[in-house]
Chains A and B, each alone.
Chain A
Amino acid sequence: MIEVIKNLCLGIVLAPLAAALIAGLLGKVIGRKGAHSITILGVLIAFILSLFIFNYTVLDNFGPFNFNLYTWVHSGSYKFHVGFLVDNLSATMILLVTFVSLLVHVYSIGYMADDPDYQRFFAYMSAFTFAMLMLVLANNFATLFFGWEGVGLISYLLIGFWFTKPTAAFGSLKAFIANRVGDMGMILGIAAILTYFNSLSYKVVFAHKAILLNQTIMLIPGLHWQAATVTCILLFIGAMGKSAQMPLHVWLPESMEGPTPISAMIHAATMVTAGVYMVARFSPLFEMSQVALSVVLVIGATTCLFCGLLGIFQNDIKRVIAYSTLSQLGYMMAGVGASAFSAGMFHLFTHGCFKALLFLAAGSVIVANHHNQDMRKMGGLYRYMPITYVTFLIGALALSAIPPFAGFYSKDTIIDAVKVSTIPGATYAYACVLLGALVTALYTFRAFFLTFHGENNVPAEIKAHLRESPWVMTVPLILLAIPSVLLGFVLIKPMIYTVPGLLGGSLTVVPQFNVIAMMMPDFHGALAMALHAGMTLPFWLAVAGIVLAWYFTLKNPGVAVVLKQRFAFVYWIMINKYGFDDFNQIVLVRGTRRIGAILLNWFDMSFIDGFLVNGSGRLIGWASKIMRHLQTGYLYHYAFAMIIGLFVFVGWRLL
């Protein structure tokens, strides 16, 4: 059995890799058609094999399977392997990754049709799929880190795909550096793991997690911190970078400089959710530290509300969805922080579908508008693009958590979980996620109404060509719309309210934090939950959000202008995104350069080189200049010196 699984896994990761290499290295030879055919084939193979794995592992309940492929580093008593862990969590996750990746590949045939670097684009996407699968399937921290940085690299390359655009070049660099800040925390977390457990294997670490209990670490003299807390927070910093949690969120809006299919796949459905996946994966460790859970919860909830608020003020359709992604990632983090790991993962899955849908639909709109992304120059598009319109609406309803769409089930579960959680910060977090529901509906439907309804502001020359996108783009939309409607309804019971659930033994929750168990008695089936929604606050907040959006954008746009003037200060804060970007640019970036310049000019060049090195050279030169006067070459000078010497010598002997 394990041999079969091993071969399946190898097929899953190597098929996209091989496809990426062929498309990347031989792009010119195989041509455009060859490039997309081979990469789609690679990802299709991975998807089909993932179905087998899912079937074996989750449905038939064989497993988990844990195996090593080869020894990567062997040093002293340490052995770091490249190996895979196939359990319910990873088996479900690879299904999502390969599914979304496959659809985005197909969609890109249409979206990238006019791009001269077509082959390079497909090679990157397949390579991304490979790295993401490595991340998900890893059975140890070293392999995880490989995938983790690998997806970061390809995200960097894809954000900078149109590298001649200065904004794209800047955005890609920013994304990489912000991710690296997170990764620095992550690598320290991994180092902590190795220090305490002498192993990087998940299996060993989870089996011996009790080691952490009585350990403390002193980071600041006199302050002892729990080893579990420090380790988990370090790992979480990595998650904050990748999942763009405040204050490391700054790179995600910038990542929208990349082509839209990338925004759908990498910056919505897969890579950015890796942080949530990681926290869920390490639930046995996070459960050992209430402090760490609180940090996750508070940061997640903060990101959820405050990044959502920024979404309301954006006019670029992709940026709205980008801020919405930040906000939804905040929901997921809040969910896992409240120990509702299954709820966080549930939202990850549903969000993966409906957010990919929204991005791809936005991409369809953007292509129709000749790459204009400003919603103020759209409007009334529903007449021209019916499929895009309907699918976008489905995505918007799912995102706004309107029953019975997928997002309703997952988001409401998280809100309830945060509500019943008792760890410090839960009350604040509850307020954030609750208000977040209103905000989500507001910005989503603001974008929806501005784009598809109201007055058509499309410039005349583009208006003449407005039409629905080709089938390679609309079919993925439809295929994503289906789970965006159904996934929540289908999965809520098996995934959340069953013991052991769909994710089974992959997640660990200790009894005192088990919020899902507390919510269990109130659950009476998916249908009842949808019907009961009318009695709950989040539902009415979402409805209120939609109504407000309708009022401000369609019914009475003048009110928004008045409000903007009344609350000019608030507006100023919002369009400056709370000042994070300015702070980073002025304090961090310029500060770093200033420090570097000071060290270089004052210390390296002036002191070491100017004073010490060349100074000693000058000293020798100066000394020899003086000494030189002694060697005049005149015989009488030497004779004179000899006589003086003789006198001194004789005189000294006589005295």
Chain B
Amino acid sequence: MRLNEIPLTAWVGIFGIVLTLFCALFAPWIAPYGETEVVGDVWAPASSAYPFGLDNLGRDILSRLIFGAQTTVFVSLASTVLSFALGIILSFIAATTRGWVDTGLSRLNDLMMSIPTLIFALVVLAALPQTLTTLILVMAVLDSTRVFRLGRAVALDVAVMDFVEAARLRGEGTPWIIFREILPNTLSPLLAEFGLRFAFAILFLSTLSFLGLGIQPPDADWGGMVKDNKDGIIFGVAAALVPGGAIAFLTICVNLVVDWLLKRTSSLKGGRGDA
């Protein structure tokens, strides 16, 4: 891969993701004020000292946005990656072994999916100790049911191809068949799903925060900031739109990069390159 082959849109996406990661990593050094520091009036308008204004308690929105990137990106990314790892491995095992393993895993998955996600999450989170690890794990397990569905469907299509049979005839084990034969040929739909799921994870996290079971105040996260400032909209204060915009920005950036990866991987098949 050469750098000059990366299209402009992908560069925009990469730039956005790098910027967000930079904010998350170096938040204490680049944020102009502290995360929980009250610096002025409630919902003070934007000024040169506070580029995005102040929030419902008089905290600097820009600083909270930068600190919020830490929790938001970390929790969403970790849960999405974990849910994909879990969902893909289980679904591919189901698709390659078939038989009772497939039936067992699939019915278990149906069972999980039949319980409304939000209610399930609320019950589990209320019962378990409230730590970041629990939150990530719960989000990952719930999301992995969707990944399992998709992963099994696409893997079944590939698992009946002659080259998979050829690998079996060679005597290859299940790990090789899953990771070397099937996974590379199912990346396109899975990557597309990843971009979407990441966005949903951010939204789900903010929903949980809104209900008091996600990120606990006074820690900042983008979804929680929308909730905190939503009442301001009634008074014509745009404070809630800033974290909302940040969520949209990151989601779009992730999807721009995913689109480019999709194009790259689908062109190998001799396809038209437009996925």
Q: Do chains A and B stick together as partners?
A: no
List the interface of chain B (C-beta within 8 A of A). none
